[in-house]
């Protein structure tokens, strides 16, 4: 007996196709497995079809709904329709991915690098000024303005990393 499996999400489409191929619902097994929402069995003399998620299948051969349509000699949807459905699925996955909080990529500043002033809290630089980092006060972790920066005109102010962005060139 050969066991084949197909994703449970295609159950409503797969069952009529399997019935067209002569498979019948295995009512006894499906009564027993009704607690398993990700399993549904159809049998035939030649074997069984299991509709479930493909995760954890040991001896089942997974197939796609397209392969099943071909076996049942059903016309396949237009390729554009398939692409549209795939795009919808990707968009849904992307939305879920974007909801997840991810830490911003942080690159530590180094003395000698240039930064562009983006915010003004206590320094005298103008927003948009490009300044060079000339000293880091790493001995005092409580210092909210740990970087001494110098403008092109020679003016120096202490700044924090929240007040500027690193210029990467």
Q: Residue 124 in contact with residue 157, Cβ under 8 Å?
A: yes
17 and 73: one domain? yes
pLDDT of amino acid 156: 94
Total structural domains within the chain: 2
Q: Which domain holds residue 56?
A: 2-77
CATH number at residue 149: 2.30.30.40
Give the ranges where 33-152 is alpha helix by DSSP (H): 65-71, 79-99
- 61: in domain: yes
Q: Exposed (0-12), middle (13-18) or buried (19+): which is 40, by Cβ within 10 Å?
A: buried
pLDDT of amino acid 134: 95
- 108: in domain: no
What's the pLDDT band for 1 if we cut at 50, 70, 90?
Answer: very low
- 119: in domain: yes
pLDDT in tens, 67-124: 777 777 776 566 777 788 888 899 988 888 887 766 555 568 899 999 999 998 878 9
Q: Is the pTM of this model over 0.75?
A: no
Sequence-distant contacts of 140-147: CB under 8 A, at least 24 apart? 145/121, 147/109
8 and 68: one domain? yes
The mean-pLDDT minimum among 4-8, 31-35, 110-114, 154-158 falls in 31-35
72 and 129: one domain? no
- 100: in domain: no
pLDDT in tens, 19-61: 777 777 776 666 666 655 555 666 666 666 666 555 544 555 6
């Amino acid at each position: 007996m050969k066991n084949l499996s197909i994703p449970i999400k295609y159950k409503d489409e797969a069952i009529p196709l399997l019935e067209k191929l002569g498979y019948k619902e295995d009512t006894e097994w499906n009564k027993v497995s009704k607690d398993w929402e990700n399993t549904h069995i159809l049998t035939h003399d030649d074997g069984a079809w299991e509709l479930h998620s493909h995760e954890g299948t040991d001896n089942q051969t997974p197939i796609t709904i397209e392969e099943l349509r071909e076996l049942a000699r059903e016309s396949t949807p237009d390729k554009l329709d398939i692409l549209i459905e795939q795009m919808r699925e990707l968009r849904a996955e992307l939305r879920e991915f974007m909801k997840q909080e991810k830490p911003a990529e942080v690159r530590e500043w180094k003395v000698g690098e240039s930064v562009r002033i983006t915010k003004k809290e206590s320094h005298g630089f103008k927003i948009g000024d490009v300044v060079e980092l000339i000293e880091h006060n790493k001995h005092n972790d409580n210092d909210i303005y740990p970087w001494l920066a110098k403008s092109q005109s020679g003016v120096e102010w202490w700044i924090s990393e929240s007040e500027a962005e690193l210029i990467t060139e």
